[in-house]
Amino acid sequence: MSMIDHSQLAAELPDIEKMNTQERIQLARTRRANQLRVNAEYQKNARPPPPRKPRLRFSEEIELLDATSRNDIHEVGRLLDLGADPNSHNEDGLTPLHQCAIDDNVEIMKLLVSRGADVNARDTESWTPLHAAACCAHINVVHILIDSGANLLAVNADGNMPYDICDDDRTLDVIENRMAEKGITQQSIDEERGAAEKEMLSEMKLLHQQGIPLDSRMPDGSTYLHVAAANGFYDVAVFLLRNRLNPNTRDNDLWTSVHAAAAWAQPDLLELLCDYGGDINAKTNNMESPIDLCEEDVTTRAVISQLQSVEAKRRKPGGGFGVRDSRRQSRRRKKFESPGQPVVAEKNGFSARGAIRRQSLRDKTGLTPARLEAQAEKTDLMRSWSREDLSTGAGPSTSQPIMSTPARETSPNKRVLRGTASKTKPMSPDEWLRKLERGGEDEEESTPTRGSQRWDSKKNSISNGSPNRRKKSCCCVIC
């Protein structure tokens, strides 16, 4: 196709400037007709064009998601008639029902449910459509989902149920009333929350019994310990760590279990992993440390800061931990003590922790073992003297006049009278004087043999133990 080049147009420009408007229009039409004629001859003689590549077409499932997000109910119905899967999802696990719950699209939701959509479908964060509806406070959608069999106790990746993330009072009342109608109790709620951890723990124990290694890798390089740390499965993490899994194992992005616990705000797991040697300052592939991944969670940041300070002290020359620091570290341990040590039950009264607690209470009262022993011996002296000597007339020295304290109307000392309820009453001073006037023979005759034998045994045991205390205890003898 011949075209007028630039030089030819520049040569014609002086002549065109001399033309009037009608002449210029006529010249343009003539040249345009000439271009069309030349182009028609070129198309006639040209070869046919190569076949075009087929147009890019999306699957019916993707088109269904797109039509749901555009609220195009007619397109949704057409795609479902063509066989589109109502449970199709995108890379985030979002299904058409999730989209309807977010957009409060009741009509499309009813259509999808009638075509077999799963009301308990979960995305990558384990959110169900009911989670989304409760979070967005869409009461009508909540009613439809519950009536269609939605699980009121579904737990997402953060451990939350639909009623946990509902901030609207009216919507929350609807969910709680439906929970009460179904007979849901707090016990069933707690069991459902811990079901995922119990299931994983059972699987880990089964793998261990079958001899399958617990440090096997997933496609992204993560281990079971990464999963337990991210989900906050404390018991699973303890089981894996006690079976010698390394808390510093890295996945394909160089994340350790400590990074996973920090990113998903699991402070208890952070302490546990670091107790078993986890590196609180490890860097990921993007040079991110655990404190860089915990975002704005105040509790997790505080725990990481504390662990970093402990690690800094440990790395100081000479250790850096004193006696008080060691005690503080031992007190911080939870139900699973140090690595490699047997587990001590929390309710065991003879555990080390229980013994420390009892010792602390005893120290607060000032009763040391030596003081307790001294008091016990002193009490025995007072009890033996009051029970035996006053009741039987025997004593360390019968040649001396013995005075007895008159009975008081008030309550006597309970330590002196403990176990003496069946004993005879002590003699009065007049009776003692009459016995002394009659002489030693009457005294021996009036003294019961059994009483004197008991006193002799008491005396022997006391004289053998502590004679000084015996002398000190004879406070009622007039020497």
**What is the per-residue pLDDT for 317?**
72
Evaluate if residue 109 carries a pLDDT over 50.
yes
Evaluate if residue 357 carries a pLDDT over 70.
no
The mean pLDDT of 170-190, rounded to a whole number, is 92
478 falls within a domain: no
Instruction: Say yes or no: 417 and 455 in one domain.
Output: yes
Task: Give the best-scoring range by mean pLDDT among 206-210, 314-318, 394-398, 449-453.
Answer: 206-210
Instruction: Say yes or no: 156 and 212 in one domain.
Output: no
pLDDT band at 257, cuts 50/70/90?
very high
The mean pLDDT of 294-309, rounded to a whole number, is 90
pLDDT band at 430, cuts 50/70/90?
low
First to last CA, the chain: 150
The CA angle 437-438-443, to the nearest 5 degrees, is 110
Evaluate if residue 388 carries a pLDDT over 70.
no
CB of 256 within 8 A of CB of 248?
yes
Instruction: Say yes or no: 205 and 186 in one domain.
Output: no
Instruction: Say yes or no: 426 and 343 in one domain.
Output: no
Instruction: Say yes or no: 351 and 238 in one domain.
Output: no
pLDDT, one tens digit per residue, over 133-155 is: 999 999 999 999 999 999 999 99
55 falls within a domain: no
Q: Which of 176, 193, 210 is the last residue of a domain?
A: 193
Evaluate if residue 389 carries a pLDDT over 60.
no
**What is the per-residue pLDDT for 6?**
76
Phi first, then psi: give them for residue 316, nearest 5 degrees. Answer: -65, 155
Strand, coil or helix: what is 150? coil
pLDDT band at 56, cuts 50/70/90?
confident
Tell me the residue range of the domain where 200 lies: 195-329
pLDDT, one tens digit per residue, over 18-39 is: 888 888 899 889 889 988 998 8
Q: Which of 193, 224, 258 is the last residue of a domain?
A: 193
49 falls within a domain: no
The mean pLDDT of 312-323, rounded to a whole number, is 67
The CA angle 390-393-394, to the nearest 5 degrees, is 105
48 falls within a domain: no
**What is the per-residue pLDDT for 316?**
77
50 falls within a domain: no
Q: Which of 136, 161, 193 is the last residue of a domain?
A: 193
Instruction: Say yes or no: 144 and 67 in one domain.
Output: yes
434 versus 32: which is more confidently predicted? 32
Instruction: Say yes or no: 232 and 316 in one domain.
Output: yes
pLDDT band at 172, cuts 50/70/90?
very high
CA dist., res. 315 & res. 305, Å (int)? 15
Instruction: Say yes or no: 308 and 352 in one domain.
Output: no
CATH of the domain at 177: 1.25.40.20
Neighbouring CB atoms inside 10 A of 126's CB total 17
The sign of the torsion formed by the CA atoms of 307, 310, 311, 312 equals positive
Instruction: Say yes or no: 315 and 227 in one domain.
Output: yes
pLDDT, one tens digit per residue, over 213-235 is: 999 999 999 999 999 999 899 99
Instruction: Say yes or no: 242 and 315 in one domain.
Output: yes
Tell me which of 287-291, 340-344, 429-433 is least confident.
Answer: 340-344
129 falls within a domain: yes
Number of H helices, E strands in the chain: 26, 0
Mean of the per-residue pLDDT values of the chain: 75
142 falls within a domain: yes
376 versus 285: which is more confidently predicted? 285
13 versus 171: which is more confidently predicted? 171
Instruction: Say yes or no: 201 and 163 in one domain.
Output: no
Domains identified in the chain, total number: 5
CA dist., res. 460 & res. 458, Å (int)? 5
52 falls within a domain: no
Query: What's this model's pTM, rounded to 2 decimal places?
Result: 0.51
The mean pLDDT of 436-452, rounded to a whole number, is 46
Q: Which residue has the tokens 């004289």?
A: 463
CB of 377 within 8 A of CB of 383?
no
Instruction: Say yes or no: 287 and 340 in one domain.
Output: no
